[in-house]
A and B are shown apart, each in its own frame.
Chain A
């Protein structure tokens, strides 16, 4: 009897849990995917199946071009974050000694500090009469203020790197910090040169953290629409901004949903691919 009641109890838990996630997560996702097959009729949504939205995506060059350019932009942001973040995580884990957690905390705090403000202030740092130009001018390195920092792709990239950098540093640090010192010493005793020790011992152990951070940065950069809106100007628009505009001014929800479905599809492929690759590397 007890077994049956136990079984009954867990199954009620299961049912309730699934009802919750189905209503909060799965049905919204499904309704958004189904919207991508609808069309818009003035201010009404026409609930009939059609592939028009997807056709438009593939016919009108601007959408594919923007999508490819945004993927490229996200890749640049990710690689810059890795190039800047990895040495920092490495330094903290190996050399910072007892200050490492303090510095780590200092790097974490900005992550939670107002997203909008950071983007807004990047304007006054990168702008024509911004901080960077002023400093460069004061140092006598330039005569005329540089213009390539603001209202284009570069400003979007720089801003996203500043915002997302902690996301690379934290997981990389956590996996590098786990390496016991004696493993590194052992590799030296066995005749490794410093670079070899890094290449064959330290880097492989820290790699999973780097991948986790890299994926987060890539996905967030890919879907961002606020940064391009605020610092991107006319030439810095991204795929996310096009999706958002279909839900605002343009009021074409089904088409926006179709564009977002493509984004979803690509994100899922990338997440599962890296998941698969890291598992294979571990094995």
Chain B
């Protein structure tokens, strides 16, 4: 290694460190202010308390929005994984040319600015007289995450040998048996990864949700509304809890991926 290369290497290492710090700064500050008080920009170091976390139980609105978010996320996972599997399987097995067009359409809501997906659904629901509710939010989220779910499952399907399903049929399995006993165990992990990812994205989706939400609120929308009056410490506490949940989910996804990769290697 030359001196110059060493020098650029250290510069890049420092830059990487700074960027990690910059990405985490807003998050660390939120967690910090859920424990400590500050007045006029000065931190009161003696004010440590975890009271906001216990007080959170009495914050009906926040809890309700959290529950709504969990509901939306859960239903989104179920819908997107089922539809995503359906499309991936169709794309994988069909030989027609239409499947390319289909893939292109599925990817549209993911590639276009979210504002366009949001307002096109908003206008569509108005035209068919469907009142806005949590369920319309579910539809929006499902369409948004569908491309990712589809791609993850498709990638897995493409690693399977065609002989796998053929031998199942040859050995006399019915279609349902072949799916349940042969295909499903093989693609199980990809379904779980896709589902977890869909849930994590849905939990924090804001741009599409803002258009589709009715009188109920999901958690990010509640934050958006609270922002005008400023955050209470209970809000900061709820943020911290959700941050723990999302980090856990991402770590879980990463562990599953790295484990399943090892299994393929050996």
Contact = CB atoms under 8 A, between A and B. Distances in A.
A141 interface: no
A230 B227 contact: yes
Nearest to B23: A110
Contact of B41 (A84, A134, A247, A264): A134
A267 B16 contact: no
B186 interface: no
Residue of A113, A122, A131, A247 most packed against chain B (CB within 10 A): A113
Interface in A91-128: 91-92, 95-96, 101, 103, 105-110, 112-118, 120-122, 124-125
Contacts of B113: 219-220, 222-224, 240, 263-264, 267
B173 interface: no
Given A25-B143, A113-B246, A121-B30, A103 B16 contact: yes
Nearest to A215: B111
A71 B19 CA distance: 25
Interface string A216-236: 000110111110001000000
Contacts of B124: 27-28, 31-32
Contact of A120 (B4, B120, B231): B231
A29 interface: yes
Interface residues of B, number: 72
A260 B220 contact: no
A131 B25 contact: yes
Nearest to B114: A223
Contacts of A88: 12, 15-16, 19
B25 A90 contact: no
Contacts of A29: 108, 116, 120
B78 interface: no
Chain A interface category by residue count: 35 or more
B198 to A, nearest CB: 12
Interface of A: 10, 13-14, 17-18, 20-21, 24-29, 31-32, 35, 84-85, 87-88, 90-92, 95-96, 101, 103, 105-110, 112-118, 120-122, 124-125, 129-131, 134, 162, 165-166, 194, 219-220, 222-226, 230, 240, 243-244, 247, 253, 256-257, 260, 263-264, 267-268, 271
B6 to A, nearest CB: 10
A120 B2 CA distance: 44
Nearest to A23: B124
A24 B117 CA distance: 10
Contact of B12 (A90, A240, A268): A90
29 contacts: A14-B96, A14-B98, A18-B98, A18-B102, A20-B83, A24-B139, A84-B15, A85-B19, A88-B19, A91-B9, A91-B12, A91-B13, A95-B12, A106-B20, A110-B23, A112-B200, A114-B243, A117-B27, A117-B223, A120-B26, A130-B41, A162-B26, A165-B23, A220-B113, A222-B113, A223-B114, A223-B207, A257-B119, A264-B112
A194 B7 CA distance: 13
A20 B13 CA distance: 48
B160 interface: no
